[in-house]
Structure 1
Amino acid sequence: MYTGIPTSELFIVRFELMNDIQIKYYAGWNVQLIPNVDQLLITLMKLRLNLPHEYLSIRFNCSTATVTNIIMTWIYTLDEVIFVHLMKTIPSRQINQACLPAAFTNYKNSRIILDSTEIYSTVPASMENQRLAYSSYKH
């Protein structure tokens, strides 16, 4: 509910994927009183709900500077785990070119399509702006 991850078991699985990553804190000082699993929770709550740092600091009994340090650190850590490590398993452009679908002939530099990204937006009042925001791909 707070993170977008459906169950606590899946949350723990995602957390365990990051056990081998060396965490280098953004602000240069380590956060020792908040367990790493809660630090990930803080970050995902911020990303999912855009909660104010003040609210998160009260909820997790720490300062807003600590919340900022945690969020910035874990965003870089998530980038390391999700992007850098994932990209090592993505085929090269040359290999992708050999099996590129016809629909992607105009996108020869594409290496991967992420079909799980969903961005919510406010529905514009004017029909013209609604038309501009509409995605035929998703409908």
Structure 2
Amino acid sequence: MEHEAMELQDVPNSQSDVGTQWEDCTLGDHNYSSSLPLMPLPNTADQGTQCAEPLHKNLLRTEALSLLYTGLSVAAFHSVAEHLIPLYKGSFQLDPTDQLLLTLMKLRHNLLQDDLAERFCVSQSVVSQLLSYWIDHMEENMREYIPWLPRETIRATMPQCFKDHYPGTTCIIDCSETPLQKARNLDS
């Protein structure tokens, strides 16, 4: 019995009660309860970014998440990535697929650059540069994916108010009307 007590006392960082000779398991659950200094964790992060692994693997793990973040299915996102990334000429250290994801998230949700910078572990200036690069890159390499209908089809499906007031219209980007509260008396 004395030999066992001696062993428990000699073991550094042992969470035991010398009087009862048993180890208190609850004290071992918390690192801050030990008397020895904590060893630093090995650096497992990608040196180019501060994140451990590319975010697209985590954020696009299901169809629902992919649709939420990008507006594209997982297959469509990977198809766009397969088309754009071989043409990539940027010099950013962030994974190119994550760069594309960041750009699509900005376009889909109009997130603040600070929010994107925090999520993708880069600075706000890098986010700004990435967005500028990728929007130009996408416009340059994806023109063929935007179909333009013949003028006859556009005219046939155009709202009547546009036919009356804007007969030369070929594309309506956003047509919405929002009623506002107006004062009845303009002098007030």
TM-score of the aligned structures, taking structure 2 as reference length? 0.44
Q: Deviations over 1:70-90 (max 9, x none)?
A: 1110000110122x4458x98
2:69 corresponds to which letter in structure 1?
Y
Q: Which consecutive unaligned segments of at least 5 residues does structure 2 have?
A: 1-67, 157-162, 181-188
Distance in 1 of aligned mates of 2:88 and 2:172: 28
**3-state SS of 1:62 partner:** coil
- Greater gyration radius: 2
Show the counterpart of 1:76.
136
> Does 1:44 find its partner at 2:104?
yes
CA 1:86–1:47 in structure 2 vs 1: closer, same or farther (change >3 Å)?
Answer: closer
Choose the corresponding residue for 1:54, options 86, 97, 114.
114
Aligned sequence identity (%): 27
Extract unaligned runs of 5+ from structure 1: 130-139
Separation (CA, whole Å) in 2 of partners of 1:112 and 1:65: 34
Corresponding residue for residue 11 of structure 1 = 77
Q: How many residues align?
A: 110
Whole-angstrom CA distance in 2 between matches of 1:53 and 1:19: 22
Q: Shift of residue 10 of structure 1?
A: 1.9
CA–CA distance in structure 1, aligned partners of residues 76 and 145 of structure 2:
19
- Runs of 4+ aligned residues of structure 1 deviating over 6 Å after TM superposition are 109-114
Cα drift, residue 36 of structure 1? 0.5
| Higher RCO, 1 vs 2 (CA within 8 Å, ≥6 residues apart) | 1
TM-score between both structures, scaled by the size of structure 1: 0.56
SS in 2 for 1:51: coil
